[in-house]
Structure 1
């Protein structure tokens, strides 16, 4: 924790915590439930396993990898060529037998793919419905299939361009939070949420983040672009909502 700055914690607070309110894959599971009661039960049960177990497991495995390197289990030559994200695979490679290593790596990749396909289907479904109105098309299935292929290729290109998993995750979280957090909160908190306020906040937040990322503008105190983007999105959502109520 001594390597994590206060600015980093603020950036993660603005990007990681809000994602649990707007994640597409989370709403997929909710809408797949048979009833609201079943969805709530599944949500609470998943939370009991998610936060106590998953939140500390990554940190614990990282500590084990560091201890394995210090004790000589992981050769110094391999560790010198590795980055933070390869610490766990290196530890598993030198600690586990081949059979167990294969099972662990299979579980590792299956978890990644199960999340990736959910995100891919959610993105292609949203674009096909919102932009192309595929329900009125006779070739609705082909529209969704082509959008899935195109988005998948774009995702691979972005992943190759940004090799760091953490950096890519925070970037994607930033775009989602900046554009969707304010409308979701408005829908949940306001009795009569304004459509204009939601659209304005989405455009303002996404555009702000995009401009700051493209220009490479450095914010004070090493803050990430998601901080002003989300702040502006929330402020604009509130202002337009209040103006609509006065009218």
Structure 2
């Protein structure tokens, strides 16, 4: 690395910290800190969506998979694209409408409004657990990038990534995240798609080497394994409808139309970037066929950038990738922080707390969840495994009760609570079983399937049973959200 590249990295970190500290002065209450006063426009919303989904897995993890299995790695990108489309067309505007009507800040706010407080508790615990996993995956990916740029050890790089991300997110809240994410999204889209792809294409001499030098199975869409692909696509698409950031994005939108359009714009941008990353990962396999200089893993994309790009551009592109990862991490920290502050402290521990007290606690909780996620990331360094596990927890138990908020008025609070609880326990036990006895045939099944099955069966059965009792006694089912 050249001195210019180090300067680019230092300038980037300083910019983030300045943005965070300046944004801190704009917060008046938790509505500002977590949903930006509900006035975010279409392009800003698209950038925020991008920051949620185009991060460590979509860039570093997808490059790794493309290096290993070829075009089949695009299933990750297609999962994101499908999730964006379905969510935009079915729920985005409705969530915005309900959020404005009931002044929701978090996803569990919506769940309690429709069901009850105990269901809120389960959804909060599930969301916090999932977001700690998301934070962990992003921070360890960021550490790999910083290590490549600076030449420092992974441990030192991890501390730097965690410190900078936690500081600017906790101090700046939503306004810092919004500002940095617009800047970071442009940097990623332009740096990867408009700079790295053309330079790599030129270095490779066109696409011919990809066709002639890669194994035939690199063009097999099922090379990743159809069982793994189906489970991943299912859990990721469903996560759009249960993920905390999906709801906060819609709450923050300036209008129902903005909520829908911002989501659709993000879908197109994410697909373009993901296809670019797949090309770069496969190109890295051609340039380093035996892993020399880019020994698979997270270093596949990094090795290509270090080898192909000129001084200055090299540092800029590594910073672009780093910015995508850190922008996802800041979103995850803010979401988990709002769970602790709004869904636990302000809802159950101290409902009478002043807005100044809650705002101060919001900053403290952002620091706490950032550090907790960092510790998880350090002990479990497999980026894709951490994120897929988080997607599973977030989707398996929450999907059916969440969809019932919008599409099934007969659904009951008791059914929602027990289906969420049973699914959460099932998924947890399944992962434990896989760790203790990986050869067991039952545990070879991806945990998302038993989790979804238990949730669906218990939710539907308990709702129908409650409806029959109501019919027999001329009572009405639980409250519905209108």
SS of the counterpart of 2:298? Answer: helix
1:211 pairs with 2:432: no
Task: Give the length in aligned residue pairs.
Answer: 240
Query: Of the candidates 22, 28, 36, which is equivalent to residue 256 of structure 2?
Result: 36
CA distance in 1, matches of 2:316, 2:273: 19
1:8 pairs with 2:228: yes
Deviations 1:158-179 (A, max 9, x none): 1111111111110111111123
Give TM-score, length-normalised by structure 1.
Answer: 0.88
**How far apart are 1:44 and its partner, in Å?**
1.9
Give TM-score, length-normalised by structure 2.
Answer: 0.47
> Unaligned stretches of 5+ in structure 1?
none
Which consecutive aligned stretches of 4+ in structure 1 deviate over 6 angstroms post-superposition?
none
- Name the structure 2 match of 1:199: 417
- Name the structure 2 match of 1:223: 445
CA contact (8 A) 1:8 1:223 kept: no
> Unaligned stretches of 5+ in structure 2?
1-71, 73-216, 218-222, 470-482
CA contact (8 A) 2:396 2:452 kept: yes
1:1-247 equivalent positions in 2, closer than 5 A: 1=72, 2=217, 3-51=223-271, 53-70=272-289, 76-79=291-294, 82-133=295-346, 135-138=351-354, 139-216=357-434, 217=437, 218-220=440-442, 222-247=444-469
**How far apart are 1:245 and its partner, in Å?**
1.7
CA contact (8 A) 1:14 1:227 kept: no
**How far apart are 1:45 and its partner, in Å?**
2.0
CA distance in 2, matches of 1:199, 1:172: 20
CA distance in 2, matches of 1:177, 1:13: 11
Q: What is the CA RMSD across the aligned residues, in angstroms?
A: 2.1
CA contact (8 A) 2:433 2:443 kept: no
CA distance in 2, matches of 1:58, 1:222: 30
> For the structure 1 residues 119 and 186, does the alpha-carbon distance in structure 2 shift closer, same or farther, using more than 3 Å as the test?
same
SS of the counterpart of 1:98? Answer: coil
Larger Rg computed on CA atoms: 2
SS of the counterpart of 2:231? Answer: helix
SS of the counterpart of 1:18? Answer: helix
CA contact (8 A) 1:204 1:232 kept: yes
Higher relative contact order (CA 8 A, sep 6+): 2
CA contact (8 A) 2:236 2:391 kept: yes
**How far apart are 1:193 and its partner, in Å?**
3.2
CA distance in 2, matches of 1:76, 1:55: 22
